[in-house]
């Protein structure tokens, strides 16, 4: 992929995250901080489909953004053909892994499997 | 002219005519022989107009001929005499001792360049990256074939790039750049500023070629806008601004 395409995605995911994280925080503010973390409340949140879709989106956006950021940091830290390939593929694999694991939590909780 | 006395080794008899003097600390390092660099110290008298280069040349003339320094024009034109002066990348011929406002003047080789010896660094990579962005007007026809025999530009068109055409390839910007410090493959502010210089030239048709060249993993996106390049440029080039303009093309804000 062209570096400019990757960086468009990087900036795009950052901007979209600002919006969605703001909504996320505002929704957390509808109840007190302690209440918000009550076991039953957390489960109830996960049952709400629109909220869960938003959480999933934040997960994807910030994983893409964060792991690309990590790739950039690592590419600037050290150079070399093998190292750079390992960094690029490693970051994609780790990103897919994190999204997979997070999605598993979100989907299982939403379906009442916990 | 300033005269020199040494604070290391035997004291050289001097007749210091000027009223003021400074301690000039010169970094000495021969990568083939030395493990690390060390400083030689000299007391140098100076006048209001004495440049750091003149002080170094005085040391060479009167005390230690072995000091390695590259220079030519002595007037901020050839781009040879870049070095760290009191920690900041500057041209030695364009920096007056009096303006430094310090009793101690320390000169070291530029950062982010391989040291050849003492204050002299290798420019191979800078010239490579400069060449890589195709620093010439690209187009299929030539002035000779056109009816006009020259490609006319309006003053406004010249204004678009003329600032960037002042670059003397001194490398101070690359030396100041924090990305250059860790990313040995980064194309660097000097080459990026020159990429913009030609892209912004109304006679040039090589925009897409050049944008392609800088749009890679160690290209333009590795600039994080520290802006140090523009702060140290002795010729008023603003590489950081050029880089943002180039990004504008790549992100679709400019065409
Ligand atoms: C939602 C708010 C965020 C915004 C607006 C944002 C914006 C940005 C921007 C513009 C860059 C590029 C900087 C550059 O090229 O110099 C960047 C880089 C980066 N971001 Fe984010 N980001 C946000 C959140 C996050 C989060 C939550 C993470 C961690 C998961 C993260 C991790 C990174 C990393 C590792 C880099 C690379 C470091 C760098 O290039 O300087 N960011 N971010
Ligand atoms: S842009 Fe300025 S600092 Fe950089 S090489 Fe050219 S003249 Fe020197
Ligand atoms: S000697 Fe030419 S720029 Fe300093």
CATH: 1.10.287.3510, 3.40.50.150, 3.50.50.60, 1.20.1300.10. Which one for A3-110? 1.20.1300.10
Q: Which two tokens stand for residue B84?
A: 């760290």
Give the angle A52-A53-A58 at the CA atoms, nearest 5°. 95
Res B14: pLDDT: 52
On chain A, the residues whose CB falls within 8 A of the CB of B185 are 79
Interchain contact, B215 vs A3, CB within 8 Å: yes
- The residue contributing the CA closest to ligand 2 atom 3 is B233
Interchain contact, A2 vs B182, CB within 8 Å: no
Res A28: pLDDT: 85
Please give the Cα distance from B212 to B106 (Å, whole number): 41
Tell me, using a 6 A CB cutoff, whether residue B91 lines ligand 3: yes
Interchain contact, B179 vs A77, CB within 8 Å: no
How many A from CA of B24 to the centre of ligand 3?
A: 19
Closest by Cα among B89, B129, B102 to B234: B89
Res A34: pLDDT: 82
pLDDT tens for residues B107-126? 999 999 999 999 999 999 99
Strand segments (E) across B99-238: 104-108, 115-117, 120-121
- C-beta separation of B185 from B220 below 8 A: no
Mean per-residue pLDDT, A107-111: 93
DSSP classification of residue B159: H
- B152 burial type by CB count under 10 A (0-12 exposed, 13-18 middle, 19+ buried): exposed
Q: Which of B193, B195, B198 to mutate for ligand 2's pocket (most ligand atoms within 8 Å of CB)?
A: B193
Tell me, using a 6 A CB cutoff, whether residue A94 lines ligand 1: no
ipTM of predicted assembly, 2 dp: 0.90
Is the predicted pLDDT of residue A58 greater than 70, yes or no? yes
pTM (predicted TM-score): 0.90
DSSP B214-252: HSSTTSGGG-----HHHHH-TT---HHHHHHHHHHHHHT
Q: Which of B52, B77, B235 to mutate for ligand 3's pocket (most ligand atoms within 8 Å of CB)?
A: B77
Question: Would you call B179 an interface residue with chain A, using a CB distance cutoff of 8 Å?
Answer: yes
Res A114: pLDDT: 76
Q: Which residues line ligand 2 (CB under 6 A)?
A: B 167-173, 190, 193, 232-233, 235, 237, 239
Question: Would you call B218 an interface residue with chain A, using a CB distance cutoff of 8 Å?
Answer: yes
Res B225: pLDDT: 96
Number of neighbouring beta carbons within 10 Å of residue A56 = 16
Q: Which of residues 30-49 of A touch B (CB under 8 A)?
A: none
- What are chain B's domains? 3-121 (3.10.20.30), 124-251 (1.10.1060.10)
- Looking up tokens 């001792």 gives B97
* Positions of chain B with pLDDT lower than 50, given as ranges: 1-7, 9-10, 12-13, 15
Rounded mean pLDDT of chain A?
94
Q: Which two tokens stand for residue B99?
A: 């303006």
Res B156: pLDDT: 97
Please give the Cα distance from A94 to B89 (Å, whole number): 40
Alpha-carbon distance A82 to nearest alpha carbon in chain B (angstroms):
14
Res B61: pLDDT: 96
């Amino acid at each position: 992929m062209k570096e400019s395409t990757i960086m468009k995605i990087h900036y795009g995911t950052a901007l979209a995250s600002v919006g969605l994280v703001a909504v996320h925080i505002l929704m957390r503010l509808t109840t007190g901080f302690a209440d918000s973390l009550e076991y039953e409340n957390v489960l109830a949140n996960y049952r709400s489909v629109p909220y869960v879709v938003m959480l999933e989106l934040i997960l994807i956006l910030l994983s893409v953004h964060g792991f690309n950021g990590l790739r950039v940091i690592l590419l600037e830290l050290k150079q070399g053909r093998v190292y750079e390939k390992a960094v690029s593929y490693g970051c994609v694999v780790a990103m897919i892994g994190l999204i997979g694991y997070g999605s598993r939590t979100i989907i299982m909780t939403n379906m009442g499997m916990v | 002219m300033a005269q020199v006395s040494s604070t290391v080794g035997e004291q050289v008899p001097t007749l210091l005519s000027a009223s003021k003097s400074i301690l000039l600390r010169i970094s000495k390092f021969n990568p083939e022989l030395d493990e690390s660099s060390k400083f030689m110290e000299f007391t140098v008298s100076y006048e209001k107009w004495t440049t750091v280069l003149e002080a170094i040349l005085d040391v060479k003339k009167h005390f230690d001929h072995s000091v390695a320094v590259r220079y030519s024009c002595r007037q901020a034109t050839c781009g040879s005499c870049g070095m760290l002066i009191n920690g900041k990348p500057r041209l030695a011929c364009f920096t007056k001792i009096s303006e430094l406002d310090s009793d101690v003047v320390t000169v070291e080789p530029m950062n982010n360049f391989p040291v050849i010896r003492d204050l002299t660094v290798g420019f191979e990579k800078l010239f490579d990256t400069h060449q890589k962005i195709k620093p010439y007007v690209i187009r299929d026809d030539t002035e000779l074939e056109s009816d006009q025999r020259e490609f006319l530009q309006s003053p406004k068109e010249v204004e678009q790039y003329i600032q960037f055409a002042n670059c003397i390839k001194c490398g101070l910007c690359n030396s100041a750049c924090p990305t250059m410090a860790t990313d040995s493959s980064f194309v660097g502010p000097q080459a990026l500023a020159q990429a913009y210089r030609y892209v912004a030239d109304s006679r040039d048709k090589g925009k897409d070629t050049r944008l392609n060249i800088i749009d890679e993993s160690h290209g333009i996106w590795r600039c994080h806008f520290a802006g140090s390049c523009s702060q140290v440029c002795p010729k008023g080039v603003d590489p950081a601004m050029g880089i943002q303009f180039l990004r504008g093309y790549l992100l679709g804000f400019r065409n």
